[in-house]
């Protein structure tokens, strides 16, 4: 991740073609299921899981969907998912086991 600019209450950073806005403010983590998911290569997952365990990061949910996933909280309590797979693999799994009320758009 590369820092681009920063100011008193925030910063912009980039990682390849992604960019992130980091803003300081009152932390108010959501109590719903909304979260941000990141894809990780299958061969990196076990090493990542060991790091999560080593650093005692809190997990907020057990994985019940296709592929390996870790559901962790960042230091501010934001919900993150680290997932082996992508949208294609998720959609294929939904053909085998659809969510209640699932509709293809």
Residue 18: inside a domain, yes or no? no
Residue 75 lies in a domain: yes
Residue 102 lies in a domain: no
The answer to whether residue 10 is domain-embedded is: no
What is the reported pTM?
Answer: 0.69
Q: In terms of C-beta density within 10 A (0-12 exposed, 13-18 middle, 19 or more buried), how is residue 70 classed? A: buried
Query: How confident is the model over 10-61, as pLDDT tens digits?
Result: 898 988 888 888 888 887 777 788 899 999 999 999 999 999 999 999 999 9
Q: What residues are labeled active site? A: 81
**Residue 34 counted as domain residue:** yes
Domain that residue 56 falls in: 25-96
Domains identified in the chain, total number: 1
Domain annotation covers residue 15: no
């Amino acid at each position: 991740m590369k820092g681009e600019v920063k100011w008193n209450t925030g910063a912009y950073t980039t990682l390849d073609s992604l960019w992130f806005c980091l803003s300081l403010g009152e932390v108010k983590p959501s109590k719903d299921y909304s979260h941000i998911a990141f894809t990780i290569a299958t061969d990196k997952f076990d090493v990542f899981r060991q790091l999560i365990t080593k650093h005692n990061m809190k997990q907020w949910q057990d994985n019940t969907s296709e592929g390996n996933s870790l559901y962790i909280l960042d230091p501010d309590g934001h919900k993150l998912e680290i997932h082996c797979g992508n949208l294609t693999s998720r959609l294929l799994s939904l053909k085998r086991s659809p969510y209640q009320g699932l509709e293809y758009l």
